Amino acid sequence: MAAPRSVSAAFQEYLQHLGLQDFPCGLGSWNKSRLHARRRPRAGPAGLEEAVPPGEESPEALLELLRDQHSPWALPPDCSPQDRLLREVAVLAPELLRGSRIFQLVKSLRILDKGVEEVDKGLLRFQQLQELILSANHISRVTSAHLPRTLKVLELCCNAVGDLQDLCARPPPKLQHLGLGYNRLCGPSQEKHLTMDFWPNLVSLDLSFNSLTDLPGLVSQLSTLQNLHILLLQGNPLALTPTYRGFLVDSLPKLFILDDIHIWPEERQQFHGLARQPELIGSEARVVVSIGALKGLPNPEAFQLLEVGSEGPVITYSYCVTYEFAEGDELEDRGSPEVGA
């Protein structure tokens, strides 16, 4: 059985994709004399640039090849700042990217949609890492012991995380943003991990599009996060309750943004006191589905009405509508007057 694909393996592929050892980066015939120049004391009057040997390029000329958008070696406009930094370091000081020294330069690591399944302990080599983006992979478990303590941003959107116990065993103490949207979190067993005991500096939390159902229970845990200003909960079943937004706005007075919508003082005043009335929060929600048009079914208007007293056969039609949910659960509605013809 093949080993799970790790973050470290994806990072090595990322470095190869950047081409840090290829022209105009790295060391080669285009700048080979610079390696020898670094090994000996610099001679000559101060302030004068050393002459570039024939057949070689100056650092300024090599950098221009990376930065000019018309150059075949330029990075795409939507590349990350980290991509540009590593490429330019590979021109100005290629020796810094050899061995383990490269891990000291990386402060932001983005590995998106690369089939990563394991957050391995190789991440501990990134001793300066502050931002780790691992969205759209296949991660189901995150071991906090493998995360650098310097992390401030951890984004795990669009993965398969269903349990926070391992992540909260020893979480990064400086973390300010935790992104867990589009995962498989179910309450109330996971809500106990969303408190100040685990995340004392958390400012932003994304729990959108999971399977959280207990709104009062979740709020009681989130209320301990004294620095929480941004919260995303849309897409969870609990967001279908009629008093959802008002209850959150009144229960979390330090919240600035809820589900990407700013909370203004007028809205907070409107829902004042709702947090003290938990009985208004229903335990069930009703979803009304309106069907605009159906194709491939007989049109009732096309049938001629039978005359009064006619003994002709009467033909009736009935239909079954099946709703398919994200987790594969099915709810059937048979004989509904809104969907029958």
320-328 own/partner pairs: CB under 8 Å, 24+ apart = 321/291, 323/289, 327/211
Question: Are residues 133 and 80 both part of a single domain?
Answer: no
Q: How far apart are CA 267 and CA 119, in angstroms?
A: 41
Same domain, 112 and 95: no
Of 240, 261, 280, the position where a domain reaches its end is 280
Do residues 101 and 244 share a domain? no
Confidence of residue 45 (pLDDT cuts 50, 70, 90): very low
- Among 73, 105, 137, the domain-final residue is 105
DSSP secondary structure string for all residues of 195-257: STTT-TT--EEE--SSB---HHHHHHHHTT-TT--EEE-TTSGGGGSTTHHHHHHHH-TT--E
In tens, the pLDDT along 198-222 reads 999 999 999 999 999 999 999 999 9
* 177 plus 270 within the same structural domain: yes
Residue 91, pLDDT above cutoff 70: yes
Tokens of 307: 């005359």
> Could you tell me if 100 and 111 lie in one domain?
no
Contact 201, 229 (CB under 8 A): no
pLDDT in tens, 63-75: 898 888 888 988 8
Same domain? 83 vs 139: no
**1 and 70 housed in the same domain:** yes
pLDDT band with cut points at 50, 70 and 90 for residue 99 = confident
Question: Are 133 and 151 a contacting pair, CB within 8 Å?
Answer: no
Q: What pLDDT is recorded for position 83?
A: 86
pLDDT confidence band for 109 (50 / 70 / 90): very high
* Strand 261-262, strand 257-258: pairing: antiparallel
Mean pLDDT of the chain: 83
Can you list the positions of beta strands (E) in the chain?
A: 108-110, 131-133, 153-155, 177-179, 204-206, 230-232, 257-258, 261-262, 320-324, 330-334
**Is the residue at 292 inside a domain?**
no
Looking at the structure of the chain, the number of domains it has is: 2
Say if residue 92 is in the same domain as residue 114: no
Check residues 259 and 29 and name the one with the higher pLDDT.
259
Q: Are 157 and 135 in contact (CB under 8 A)?
A: yes
Report the distance separating Cα 90 and Cα 280, nearest Å: 61
Q: Which has more pLDDT, 76 or 175?
A: 175
Average pLDDT over residues 99-120: 91
pLDDT classification of 244: cutoffs 50, 70, 90: very high
In this prediction, residue 286 has a pLDDT band, given cuts at 50, 70 and 90, of low
Pairwise CA distance, residues 257 & 233, whole Å: 11
Tell me the range of 15-19, 123-127, 302-306, 323-327 where mean pLDDT is highest.
Answer: 123-127
Of residues 219 and 53, more confidence is placed in 219
182 with 268, same domain: the answer is: yes
Tell whether 260 and 154 lie within a shared domain. yes
pLDDT score of 134 more than 90: yes
Q: Is residue 115 part of a domain?
A: yes
- Per the model's pLDDT, the better-predicted residue between 242 and 223 turns out to be 223
Domain limits at 82? 1-27+59-105
Per-residue pLDDT for 40 more than 50? no
For residues 74 and 206, membership in a common domain is answered with no
With respect to residue 242, please indicate whether it lies within any of the assigned structural domains: yes
Q: What is the pLDDT of residue 299?
A: 67
Asked whether residue 174 carries a pLDDT value surpassing 80, the answer given is yes
> For residue 163, is pLDDT > 90?
yes
Task: Judge whether residue 317 has pLDDT over 80.
Answer: no
The last residue of a domain, from among 260, 280, 300: 280
119 and 159 part of one domain: yes
**What sign has the CA pseudo-torsion 293, 298, 301, 306?**
negative
